[in-house]
Structure 1
Amino acid sequence: MHTLALMETFTVVVESGSFTAAAEKLKLSKSFVSKQVSLLEQDLGTRLLHRTTRTLSLSDEGSQFYRHCQRIMKEAELARAEILDSQNAPRGKIRMTIPQSLIISGFSQLLIAFQRQYSDIDLDVIASGRVENLIEEGIDLAIRVGQLEDSSLVSRRLGECRFQVVASPSYLQAWGEPTHPSDLMKHNCLLYGDSKSSRGWQFRKPDGEALTVKVTGKLTSNDGNLIVEGMRQGLGIGFGPSFLFKDHIDSGELCPLLGDYCQPPSSISALYPLNRTLPRRVRILIEYLAAHLALE
């Protein structure tokens, strides 16, 4: 008999606690179920179960093999469910986390357009820039910008952005335009994000050498709306991902500065757990975002 079928029978026996209960669940005879487990043991060349007239227990090898069986049976069921699901319209909930800076940019319009197109998919969107434990917090998908460090996550690149220095024409008229990153230390810099990590603005000299400038300012916030509004009203100079400022630069409300010192583009990535089968609805969302961000 096929090994996968023998593994399934073995798994049911372990989880049922007896050959009798497993036989009832599988709608097979007790002797046939017992023979299947014996065949599996013969094939593996080891005893998986210790049998007495009253008890059934796993050997050390049986415990190890059972863990593998659990994972394989789960994957097989997920594969079956995925094929069945592919024959119907995608449905269900996607719990995802996105930096607030993306939420307040045009990215939010992509999510709204996606939900209009796939009305049977529910989106539970958490605006957060911290690195969550996706499995523990029940999150299907995380969208992140910049360097990725967690090797336990699968990464799919969706697009890219640059980190820019920007200010309003009114601020530049009143306080002058910086011509080198070090000039920023003389300006009121509006700090977006954590007050500690946001004070070191990263640049790259024309020769490729990295440069960090420690800036100061009178306004710090993790609310991108507040920082952008402060820049629009001439309060100070800001630094952040290009998608946060794009519309305001296009309208002339903000001006990009120090373009010769910008870092190379950073990736916008979709992250999901390494050892989890990705539901079809999540794959569809990732493909949708990748297609639309590539056009921008």
Structure 2
Amino acid sequence: MSVFARIVECGSISAAAASLDLSKSVVSQHLKTLESELGVPLLKRTTRRQTLTPAGEVFYAQCQKLNQLAADAWDQAQSNQSVPRGKIKITAPHALMGPLIAPVIGQLMQQYPQIEPQLIASDEQQDLMQHGIDLAIRVGHSQESSYRQRRIGAFRDVLCGTASYLSNCPTGSMNYVANRWQGKQIQHQLTHKENNSQYTLEFKPGCTVDSLYTTLALLEAGAGIGIVPDFILNANACSLIEVMPDYQLSSVPIFALHPYHSGLPLAVEVTLNAVEHALRGDEGP
């Protein structure tokens, strides 16, 4: 139908073939097949002229509508790659969503008012395809090889507590406030910041929670010690200090995952780059 419309608009099969970058025989075969399947002639042709039959005039009007729909669809799809727009579903752990991801998205919404973000703060690793997620920010390398992923930043957990708690409680008897993902037996391998010597600490949780911010609140209330990401400590004027200030825990990588294999939608690409830029600014050594 598209080829037929081009024949009519160009005035001949030869001109249509040149316009479509096809051979004259291919265009002619398209027309013959179309007329054969419709069971009516669409064009009257001589060596110098072609005119539409009555059936051809009606059919051509519908072909024009089809071509216009195709052109509109093409333009709309391309426009999504010129200005970020449309819905984008993003998931990240609670620890990253509030202090890092949400502020980035807020700035993007001001810069690109046509994007429609949906943010999901969850410490569970949701399946991207099943939940329609465009971009997942995760702590640590993911085993889901079917998705594209790249390292976009890193942070360090800090073993900390209040100064009053640390001064009144020996290290061996300290209460450990754990997030539930840490399990029932916790071991921390710390490295000296200058001479790289190793020190190991082991704990059994005295309290288990399901949220970083619950951990933070308990630690600030003097309930014990626990780990808090360095960017949380740096961004908040809290009363927590390092348990072993001369030592540090290993760097924890942050990865971005997405389900796109043949190029990112512009809204996803812009969001990913902005999140990576923000994380790099907070990345530890």
Distance 2:86 2:108 in 1: 14
Written as runs of structure 1 = structure 2, the 5 A alignment for 1:9-88 is 28-29=30-31, 31=33, 83-87=78-82
Shift of residue 188 of structure 1? 0.5
Which residue among 215, 224, 229 is the counterpart of 1:227?
215
CA 1:229 to 1:293, structure 2 compared with 1: closer, same or farther past 3 Å? same
**Residue of structure 2 in register with 1:5 after alignment:** none
Shift of residue 231 of structure 1? 0.7
Shift of residue 218 of structure 1? 3.3
Number of aligned residues: 216
Aligned to 2:250, the other structure's residue is in SS state coil
**Residue of structure 2 in register with 1:92 after alignment:** 86
Aligned to 2:231, the other structure's residue is in SS state helix
Amino acid corresponding to residue 172 of structure 1 in structure 2: L
**Residue of structure 1 in register with 2:16 after alignment:** none
Distance 2:115 2:216 in 1: 32
Shift of residue 126 of structure 1? 0.9
Over the residues paired in the alignment, what is the CA RMSD in angstroms? 3.2
2:182 corresponds to 1:188: no
Q: Which protein is bigger by CA-based radius of gyration?
A: 2
Q: TM-score, normalised by structure 2?
A: 0.65
CA 1:266 to 1:194, structure 2 compared with 1: closer, same or farther past 3 Å? closer
Aligned to 1:293, the other structure's residue is in SS state helix
Distance 1:84 1:109 in 2: 26
**Residue of structure 1 in register with 2:233 after alignment:** 245
CA 1:86 to 1:194, structure 2 compared with 1: closer, same or farther past 3 Å? closer
CA 1:277 to 1:31, structure 2 compared with 1: closer, same or farther past 3 Å? same
CA contact (8 A) 2:94 2:211 kept: yes
Aligned to 2:249, the other structure's residue is in SS state coil
Which residue among 260, 269, 275 is the counterpart of 2:255?
269
Which residue among 245, 256, 265 is the counterpart of 2:242?
256
**Residue of structure 1 in register with 2:268 after alignment:** 282
**Unaligned stretches of 5+ in structure 2?**
1-29, 37-72
**Unaligned stretches of 5+ in structure 1?**
1-27, 35-77
Alpha-carbon displacement from aligned partner over 1:16-62 (angstroms, at most 9, x marks no partner): xxxxxxxxxxxx4363799xxxxxxxxxxxxxxxxxxxxxxxxxxxx
Shift of residue 196 of structure 1? 2.5
Q: TM-score, normalised by structure 1?
A: 0.63
Shift of residue 285 of structure 1? 0.3
